Amino acid sequence: MFLSIEVYAQEEYDFDFDEDDSFVWECTELNKYEFKRVFGFEPAFENGEKTRRVIQDVEDNADGWFVTVEFWDYQKDWDEDGAIIYEQVYDSPSKYEDNIFLPTPVNEYLTEASEDLPSNYVVEGHRVIIRETDYNRILEYDTRGVLLSELYENKEGIVLVKVESTLRVIPMGNFFIGFIILALVSIIVVMIKKKKYSIME
């Protein structure tokens, strides 16, 4: 008599952020007229202004990670102490929230989360599109799990406001870095050879 048991592998997620990790976002697009028309109030920031967050502490808990963050809003002096805020990041995709930070691998986390999200949520790879009545909100994350950009647009596709991380992902990842290093080495070698030949002449 044999007992057949099926074992289903459950995806394990990680939180790839540490104490003192610092992040800056900049308002790169702002349409004040459309912003006020859709939301009913003036934006409290200008195009080009920045906001900053520094992770102070990360604690594991039963639901994932409890993150303590020092936060500087737009127009705040970074030489002064920022406000302390707390964020719960859930390791279960079924409890997904529109956080600044997500567990990794991001693609798998969001794909699994999409199964339980409301119908106005659409997941496309590392992007989450939230379709509200008067506007769409689009969140894009990088491979590490940090919010890369947040965009609000009206139903006609006109951008109301867009905020982007100042630490964009380098195209092609480590391969791109390798190409840069190789190119620099090649330039240095050529310069040394030219200098050597000019001395010999």
Residue 160 CA to chain centroid, in angstroms? Answer: 19
For the chain, which residues make up each domain, given as ranges?
Answer: 22-169, 171-201
Q: For the chain, what percent of residues have pLDDT higher than 90?
A: 76
pLDDT at 36 over 70: yes
- Which pLDDT value is given to residue 11? 63
Mind listing the pLDDT tens digit for each residue in 44-99? 999 999 999 999 999 999 999 999 999 999 999 999 999 999 999 999 999 999 99
Strand positions, DSSP E, the chain: 22-30, 50-61, 64-72, 83-90, 121-124, 127-131, 135-141, 147-154, 159-165
Question: Which of 122, 100, 101 has the alpha carbon at shortest distance from 111?
Answer: 122
CA distance readout (Å), 84 to 4, 28, 30, 153: 52, 25, 27, 30
Quick: pLDDT tens for 145-172.
999 999 999 999 999 999 999 975 434 3
Q: Residue 101 gets which letter from DSSP? A: B
pLDDT band at 194 (very low <50, low <70, confident <90, very high): low
pLDDT on residue 106: 97
Q: Kindly tell me if the per-residue pLDDT of 130 is higher than 90.
A: yes
Residue range 138-150: mean pLDDT, rounded:
96
31 — pLDDT class (breaks 50, 70, 90): very high
What global pTM score does this model have?
Answer: 0.76
Radius of gyration for the chain, computed over Cα atoms and rounded to the nearest angstrom: 23
Structure tokens at 75: 């127009």
